[in-house]
Amino acid sequence: MEQVEKLKIGQKVEIHSYKHNGKIHRVWKYGYVVDIRKNCVVIVNNKTRVIESSGRVWHTKEPAVCFFFNNSWYNIISMLRSNGVHYYCNIASPYVWDGEAIKYVDYDLDLKVYPNGSMKVLDEKEYSMHHVSMNYSDKLDYILHNELDILKHRMQDPYAIYHKNHVYDYYEKYLEIKEEYNNDRY
Protein backbone atom coordinates (compact mmCIF):
# COMPACT_ATOMS: atom_id res chain seq x y z
CA MET A 1 0.00 0.00 0.00
CA GLU A 2 1.33 3.42 -0.99
CA GLN A 3 2.02 5.77 1.91
CA VAL A 4 0.46 9.22 1.57
CA GLU A 5 2.78 12.18 2.12
CA LYS A 6 1.93 13.99 5.35
CA LEU A 7 0.67 17.54 5.30
CA LYS A 8 3.24 20.24 6.07
CA ILE A 9 2.90 23.79 7.35
CA GLY A 10 3.14 26.15 4.41
CA GLN A 11 1.89 23.54 1.96
CA LYS A 12 -0.55 24.72 -0.70
CA VAL A 13 -3.60 22.40 -0.86
CA GLU A 14 -6.97 22.01 -2.53
CA ILE A 15 -10.17 21.30 -0.60
CA HIS A 16 -12.74 18.90 -2.07
CA SER A 17 -16.29 18.60 -0.78
CA TYR A 18 -18.41 15.58 -1.76
CA LYS A 19 -21.99 14.54 -1.21
CA HIS A 20 -23.07 11.28 0.45
CA ASN A 21 -23.56 9.66 -2.97
CA GLY A 22 -19.84 10.15 -3.73
CA LYS A 23 -20.29 12.96 -6.25
CA ILE A 24 -18.10 16.03 -6.06
CA HIS A 25 -19.90 19.04 -4.63
CA ARG A 26 -17.32 21.84 -4.60
CA VAL A 27 -13.55 22.42 -4.99
CA TRP A 28 -11.54 25.25 -3.44
CA LYS A 29 -8.25 26.10 -5.19
CA TYR A 30 -6.10 26.74 -3.01
CA GLY A 31 -5.34 27.28 0.63
CA TYR A 32 -2.20 27.17 2.74
CA VAL A 33 -1.72 24.90 5.74
CA VAL A 34 -0.92 27.14 8.73
CA ASP A 35 -1.25 24.64 11.60
CA ILE A 36 -1.43 20.90 12.09
CA ARG A 37 -2.73 19.51 15.35
CA LYS A 38 -3.46 16.00 16.54
CA ASN A 39 -7.14 16.24 15.54
CA CYS A 40 -7.26 19.29 13.27
CA VAL A 41 -5.63 20.95 10.30
CA VAL A 42 -5.95 24.71 9.78
CA ILE A 43 -5.97 26.08 6.24
CA VAL A 44 -6.24 29.72 5.20
CA ASN A 45 -7.29 31.07 1.83
CA ASN A 46 -8.15 34.49 0.45
CA LYS A 47 -10.17 35.28 -2.65
CA THR A 48 -9.69 31.70 -3.72
CA ARG A 49 -11.20 30.16 -6.83
CA VAL A 50 -14.17 27.85 -6.18
CA ILE A 51 -15.55 25.37 -8.70
CA GLU A 52 -19.10 24.08 -8.20
CA SER A 53 -20.27 20.64 -9.38
CA SER A 54 -22.32 22.48 -12.02
CA GLY A 55 -19.12 23.92 -13.48
CA ARG A 56 -19.84 27.42 -12.17
CA VAL A 57 -16.67 29.21 -11.04
CA TRP A 58 -16.51 32.03 -8.52
CA HIS A 59 -14.05 33.53 -6.03
CA THR A 60 -14.44 33.97 -2.30
CA LYS A 61 -14.71 37.60 -1.18
CA GLU A 62 -12.63 37.61 1.98
CA PRO A 63 -9.96 35.71 3.88
CA ALA A 64 -11.13 32.47 5.45
CA VAL A 65 -9.47 30.46 8.21
CA CYS A 66 -10.72 26.87 7.85
CA PHE A 67 -10.62 24.22 10.57
CA PHE A 68 -10.91 20.61 9.44
CA PHE A 69 -11.22 17.92 12.10
CA ASN A 70 -10.35 14.25 11.74
CA ASN A 71 -12.57 13.12 14.62
CA SER A 72 -15.57 15.49 14.52
CA TRP A 73 -18.46 15.59 12.07
CA TYR A 74 -18.12 19.25 11.18
CA ASN A 75 -15.68 21.80 9.84
CA ILE A 76 -15.53 25.49 10.60
CA ILE A 77 -14.92 28.28 8.11
CA SER A 78 -14.06 31.59 9.82
CA MET A 79 -14.54 34.51 7.44
CA LEU A 80 -12.75 37.74 8.28
CA ARG A 81 -15.09 40.59 7.38
CA SER A 82 -14.95 44.30 8.16
CA ASN A 83 -17.53 43.88 10.95
CA GLY A 84 -15.84 40.89 12.60
CA VAL A 85 -15.42 37.15 12.26
CA HIS A 86 -18.38 35.27 10.76
CA TYR A 87 -18.42 31.48 11.08
CA TYR A 88 -19.92 29.11 8.56
CA CYS A 89 -19.90 25.62 10.05
CA ASN A 90 -20.60 22.62 7.84
CA ILE A 91 -21.98 19.43 9.30
CA ALA A 92 -19.67 17.07 7.46
CA SER A 93 -17.67 13.90 7.76
CA PRO A 94 -14.24 14.05 9.38
CA TYR A 95 -11.67 15.10 6.78
CA VAL A 96 -9.15 12.87 5.07
CA TRP A 97 -5.92 13.83 3.33
CA ASP A 98 -5.11 11.51 0.45
CA GLY A 99 -2.09 13.35 -0.93
CA GLU A 100 -4.30 15.11 -3.48
CA ALA A 101 -6.62 17.25 -1.35
CA ILE A 102 -8.35 17.70 1.98
CA LYS A 103 -11.59 15.77 1.40
CA TYR A 104 -14.87 15.45 3.27
CA VAL A 105 -18.55 14.68 2.76
CA ASP A 106 -20.90 17.65 3.17
CA TYR A 107 -24.17 16.73 4.91
CA ASP A 108 -26.13 19.88 4.07
CA LEU A 109 -26.84 21.17 7.58
CA ASP A 110 -24.91 24.33 8.37
CA LEU A 111 -24.56 26.55 11.40
CA LYS A 112 -23.93 30.24 10.85
CA VAL A 113 -22.47 32.12 13.81
CA TYR A 114 -22.43 35.92 13.71
CA PRO A 115 -19.87 38.23 15.38
CA ASN A 116 -22.35 38.96 18.20
CA GLY A 117 -22.56 35.21 18.99
CA SER A 118 -26.05 34.62 17.63
CA MET A 119 -26.53 31.41 15.66
CA LYS A 120 -28.75 30.17 12.88
CA VAL A 121 -29.13 26.64 11.49
CA LEU A 122 -29.28 26.63 7.68
CA ASP A 123 -30.35 24.23 4.93
CA GLU A 124 -32.70 22.02 6.93
CA LYS A 125 -34.94 21.49 3.86
CA GLU A 126 -31.96 20.43 1.76
CA TYR A 127 -30.93 18.03 4.52
CA SER A 128 -34.43 16.50 4.63
CA MET A 129 -34.45 16.05 0.84
CA HIS A 130 -31.00 14.42 0.77
CA HIS A 131 -31.79 12.31 3.84
CA VAL A 132 -34.40 10.58 1.70
CA SER A 133 -32.86 10.74 -1.79
CA MET A 134 -29.38 9.63 -0.66
CA ASN A 135 -30.71 7.21 1.93
CA TYR A 136 -28.98 8.50 5.08
CA SER A 137 -29.22 5.81 7.73
CA ASP A 138 -30.88 6.41 11.09
CA LYS A 139 -27.47 6.04 12.73
CA LEU A 140 -25.97 8.70 10.43
CA ASP A 141 -28.94 11.01 11.06
CA TYR A 142 -28.39 10.65 14.81
CA ILE A 143 -24.64 11.36 14.49
CA LEU A 144 -25.18 14.46 12.36
CA HIS A 145 -27.82 15.99 14.63
CA ASN A 146 -25.80 15.15 17.73
CA GLU A 147 -22.72 16.81 16.21
CA LEU A 148 -24.81 19.89 15.37
CA ASP A 149 -25.79 20.15 19.06
CA ILE A 150 -22.15 19.69 20.14
CA LEU A 151 -21.04 22.31 17.63
CA LYS A 152 -23.56 24.87 18.93
CA HIS A 153 -22.13 24.43 22.41
CA ARG A 154 -18.47 24.47 21.30
CA MET A 155 -18.86 27.65 19.27
CA GLN A 156 -19.31 29.49 22.59
CA ASP A 157 -15.90 28.38 23.95
CA PRO A 158 -13.60 31.42 24.23
CA TYR A 159 -10.53 29.14 24.42
CA ALA A 160 -11.22 27.09 21.30
CA ILE A 161 -8.65 27.22 18.49
CA TYR A 162 -11.29 28.71 16.21
CA HIS A 163 -12.09 31.59 18.57
CA LYS A 164 -11.77 34.96 16.83
CA ASN A 165 -8.51 35.85 18.61
CA HIS A 166 -6.86 32.72 17.22
CA VAL A 167 -8.43 33.28 13.80
CA TYR A 168 -6.64 36.61 13.43
CA ASP A 169 -3.34 35.00 14.55
CA TYR A 170 -3.78 32.27 11.93
CA TYR A 171 -4.45 34.87 9.26
CA GLU A 172 -1.18 36.66 10.19
CA LYS A 173 0.65 33.35 9.93
CA TYR A 174 -0.90 32.84 6.48
CA LEU A 175 0.38 36.25 5.33
CA GLU A 176 3.90 35.30 6.46
CA ILE A 177 3.71 31.92 4.70
CA LYS A 178 2.33 33.43 1.52
CA GLU A 179 5.08 36.05 1.45
CA GLU A 180 7.71 33.34 1.98
CA TYR A 181 6.10 31.17 -0.72
CA ASN A 182 6.05 34.04 -3.22
CA ASN A 183 9.68 34.97 -2.46
CA ASP A 184 10.79 31.37 -2.99
CA ARG A 185 9.05 31.13 -6.35
CA TYR A 186 10.62 34.18 -8.00
What does the DSSP assignment read for 35-58? EE-SSEEEEEEES-EEEETTS-EE
Q: What is the pLDDT of residue 183?
A: 59
Q: Quick one: DSSP state of residue 136?
A: -
CB atoms within 10 A of CB 4: 11
Q: In whole angstroms, what separates CA 81 from the centre of its chain?
A: 17
State yes or no: is 37 an active-site residue.
no
Q: What does the pLDDT read at residue 1?
A: 47
Separation between Cα atoms, residue 158 and residue 146, nearest integer Å? 21
Structural domains in the chain plus CATH codes: 12-178 (2.40.380.10)
Burial class (CB in 10 A: 0-12, 13-18, 19+), 67: buried
Q: What does pLDDT average to in each consecutive run of 10 residues of the chain (186 residues)?
A: 78 97 96 96 97 97 97 98 97 97 97 97 96 96 97 94 95 93 57
Give the global pTM.
0.94
